[in-house]
Structure 1
């Protein structure tokens, strides 16, 4: 892993920037922080038989998406109370450009699709979140 990361760091940053493209301005994570968080999770993975570069990048893209979903869900928890005291709020004053709810909804939709057709869900994940080419996606999915 220590030898692999420097070789693919630029590619990981590209994937992170792609994942972050749909996020709101001022998101708590930046592309470099997303790469670092993914790296920490990749280091914790034990006994992974990395098949090739595309497999590694696909797993990295999946981890980055999971990190963003986890952050969005956490913020959703905080928005729904998270142990805070209940106060009156005027909806007319609400102004936000948050996209976390969209990310959570997208994750839910991908999970639903995976229940119907796992391969289609993986194709979407690899192509749109991972930025893999058609050939790289086919290689990861072994088709």
Structure 2
């Protein structure tokens, strides 16, 4: 993956052709991350892993301004944030009345648990994560990498440049903080 760092430096230097070199190298990795994340989504998800990867990639390299990535880990952190935003936008879109936000999905021939709750959970997580990022940005970044990009604890630790033990402590704290915040928000709305 040293080649990725070199291509990212070429992109930063203004080499437009480097974009064409980057996609084949990181596509499989991004596709794996997106597939992992999409598999955790609610049934009836209309966004595919391929579409998620393509949209995230376009957002990363298709910007008007120059991307500023220092290394491979920085690129994948940006990819995780991009995938997070796409999934949140998709969840918000599906909650809108125009897209059936007030209706429950019913599977035939049997009645299943409605998928609506999954979107509510994702939006509650996004709100809590945004608040958590103000308090602990590095821990919030770990959550994004683990939850939205599907990285393992070890992979996320490498991307952030921290030890696996530190990542494990941050992950445990972050999960507890987010769980507490989401539950207190839910109890306040009842």
Normalised TM-score (structure 2): 0.61
1:127 and 1:137 in contact (8 A); partners too? no
1:19 and 1:65 in contact (8 A); partners too? no
1:22 pairs, out of 15, 21, 40, with 40
Q: 2:134 and 2:156 mapped to 1: Cα distance?
A: 24
Show structure 1 runs of 4+ deviating over 6 A. none
Q: Structure 1 or 2: larger helix share?
A: 2
Map of 1:119 onto structure 2: 138
Q: 2:42 and 2:132 mapped to 1: Cα distance?
A: 25
1:38 pairs, out of 56, 73, 77, with 56
Distance 1:3 1:112, change over 3 A: same
Q: Deviations over 1:54-100 (max 9, x none)?
A: 2111111110111000010111123159xxxxxxxxxxx99513411
2:72 pairs, out of 28, 31, 53, with 53
- Cα RMSD of the aligned pairs, angstroms, is 2.1
Distance 1:126 1:94, change over 3 A: closer
> Alignment length, in residue pairs?
128
Structure scoring higher RCO (CA < 8 A, sep ≥ 6) equals 1
Map of 1:6 onto structure 2: 24
Is 1:69 the counterpart of 2:92 in the alignment? no
Q: 1:101 and 1:72 mapped to 2: Cα distance?
A: 8
Secondary structure of residue in 1 paired with 2:70: coil
Q: 1:20 and 1:80 mapped to 2: Cα distance?
A: 23
Unaligned runs of 5+ in 2: 1-18, 104-110, 163-190
Secondary structure of residue in 1 paired with 2:20: coil
Normalised TM-score (structure 1): 0.79
2:142 and 2:156 in contact (8 A); partners too? no
Larger radius of gyration: 2
